[in-house]
Structure 1
Amino acid sequence: MSVATLALTRRAEALGKWGEALAGDDFVALPGSELAGWFTPADRARFFATWDHLHRDELVTGGVVRERRYGRLAASRGPGGEWSFTPLPHQAFQQTAEHIPLYEGQARMFSPIRAETLADPVLTGLIAVDLAVVAAVVPEASRFEVGLHQIRVLATPDAPGCPTPEGRHRDGHDFIGMHLIGRVNCAGGESVVHREGIPPTRMTLTERLDSLVVSDTRITHEVTPTVADGATGVRDMLLVDINER
């Protein structure tokens, strides 16, 4: 077996294992150390750098300092299992007040994700990972609408960062992929998954591309505040909203 074939086999095995975990537990953690090896260092560096060009989120409340961009893609699975992606028109992001009472159903218009970022092979590769994992739960689904959020949460010595100002919640999607892009000068930011009748599962995404995929209809989730460690603390995330079309 060639090196390339072996790598593909191991990747398929990892995706299968993660998919089984999502199907059984309604969430699964993906190690960034493994995902990082699926992209070149140069590609990762280029993609991560786009978080330095986000715009201030003026609609977040409670003194939270957050920067973000938002975009959408249509995802289609071909007969060979490969995924193709088509940009969708930019529009406001809206969640029902039932799911996120904090914004009372307000349509929030964020700066768009740049066209070149939407086409970036690291972005589409991470989405393809999420969709491959989700396929264990909805194997017949072949078309999805994908919402993308580039988010940077800042913490200062005087004010903690707040990744989820809405608290414990559902977002109103079928599935969500959560990918750590980077964190510097901060502690905290613990991800908490709540399942009915089971003690909460707690984990902290610390390494770049450490990830979490959740069945948003079946669990609730939150992230604890981040605390600045001396200088301004930064926590960068890519959130991938996945909804069957």
Structure 2
Amino acid sequence: MSPRLSAQALRDQWYSRGQAEDLIGPEANSSRDWKLFAESWNGLPIDAFMGGGETYRRRRHTVFNVHTDGQFEQLAPRPYVQSSEINNLEGDVQRYFEPIEPEVTGSALFAGLLSGLSAILEELHGPDVWHHQCFQNRIVTSTEKTGDPTPWGPHCDGVDYVVTLLVARHNVQGGRTGLYDAGTKERLHAETLLPGDLLIADDTRTLHDATPLTPVDPAEPGHRDVFIDVITRGSEPR
């Protein structure tokens, strides 16, 4: 039996592994919303803030607060900032990205993801507001360029929880997700996520990374699409 997302696993082992459908029902992988969700990665702009002038990452970013009463609040566009202690390539830079398209954020699937994640965290912490910084990321690779999802290596994001939902893999090898004890650096978990697989980790206790990507068929480029949600307890990040 496949593992299911649970607050108990997140409490006991600092991460929980399951499926998107654990949050939003079995229709997640077949509904019109999932198709729209996955196809929206095809229109992501190039991330202009990559260290070293690299251009193999595409990205959109939108921020929400999810309240205990079910209120789902999209916040005004704002920069994404990480300290240089966390991100030695792009730290201390105000990075502005195009927002996630409204037909995606307005879907029942998207609302179900954020509401379901917030519900799991409220099992651990009780009622609160949960601040979700949501990203659509595509890493592109070809014979000319290896795509590296985490060029700064194992890291934390300076929030409370980090969610990785694998949306698509096309003509790629690599991209194996790893989780590590932030204190000892011991590996806690590693796997190559497949479409629909979802991993949530305690960012205060773990580090995470993903291995570089290369194309399976060198005659065409490949890509790996993920939805990332970095979550902070309270209405704003620390």
TM (norm. structure 2) is 0.88
Cα distance in 2 between the residues matched to 1:85 and 1:72: 11
Matches of 1:38 and 1:132, distance apart in 2: 19
Q: Which runs of 5+ in 2 are unaligned?
A: none
Contact preservation (8 Å) 1:92, 1:110: yes
SS of match in other structure, 2:196: coil
Cα drift, residue 130 of structure 1: 1.8
- Residue 34 of structure 2 corresponds to 44
1:72 aligned residue? 63
Match of 2:51 in 1: 61
Out of 36-45 and 223-232, give the one that drifted further. Answer: 36-45
Does the 8 Å contact 2:136/2:225 carry over to 1? yes
Identity of aligned residues (%): 25
Counterpart-to-counterpart distance in 1, 2:14 and 2:66 = 22
Distance in structure 2 (CA, Å) of the matches to 1:157 and 1:33: 35
Q: Distance in 2 between matches of 1:59 and 1:116?
A: 26
Q: The residue matched to 2:94 in structure 1 has which SS?
A: coil
* Residue identity in the other structure for 1:76: H
Moved more, 114-123 or 180-189: 114-123
**Superposed displacement of residue 42, structure 1:** 1.6
The 5 A counterparts of 1:165-180 are 165-180=151-166
Q: Secondary structure of 2:38's partner?
A: helix
User: Could you say what the CA RMSD is over the residues aligned between the two structures, in angstroms?
Assistant: 2.0
1:99 alignment counterpart: 86
Is contact 2:163–2:229 with CA below 8 Å preserved after alignment?
yes
| Alpha-carbon separation, structure 1, partners of 2:171 and 2:22 | 24
Match of 2:197 among 202, 210, 224: 210
* Residue aligned with 1:59, SS: coil
Q: CA deviation at 1:238?
A: 0.5
Q: CA deviation at 1:116?
A: 2.6
8 A Cα contact 1:173 1:242, kept in partner: yes
Cα distance, 1:194 vs structure 2: 0.4
Alignment of structure 1 residues 137-148 onto 2, 5 Å: 137-138=124-125, 140-148=126-134
Q: Structure 1 residues 87, 23: CA separation in 2 closer, same or farther (over 3 Å shift)?
A: same
Structure 2 CA distance for aligned equivalents of residues 38 and 142 of structure 1: 28
Change over 3 Å in CA distance of 1:100–1:127 after alignment to 2:
same
Kept after mapping to 2: 8 A contact 1:21/1:28:
yes
> Counterpart amino acid of 1:77?
T
Is this contact kept in 2: 1:64–1:161, CA < 8 A? Answer: no
1:30 deviates by: 1.0
Corresponding residue to 1:241 among 221, 230, 234: 230
Tell me the secondary structure at the aligned position of residue 51 of structure 2.
Answer: coil
Cα distance in 1, alignment partners of residues 40 and 16 from structure 2: 26
Distance 1:34 1:72, change over 3 A: closer
Aligned equivalent of 1:128: 115
* Regions of 4+ moved over 6 Å: none
* Corresponding residue number in structure 1 for 2:14: 26
TM-score by length of 1: 0.85
Of 60-69 and 184-193, deviating more is 60-69
> Deviation of residue 126 (structure 1)?
1.4
After superposition, give the CA deviation of every residue in 1:141-165 in whole Å (9 maximum; x if it has no partner). Answer: 3211111101110010222111111
Whether the aligned pair in 2 keeps the contact of 1:157 and 1:229 (CA below 8 Å) is: no
Question: How far, CA to CA, are the matches of 1:69 and 1:134 in structure 2?
Answer: 24
1:232 counterpart (204, 211, 221)? 221
- Separation of aligned partners in 2, 1:31 and 1:154: 24
Query: Structure 1 31/114 Cα, relative in aligned 2: closer, same or farther at 3 Å?
Result: closer
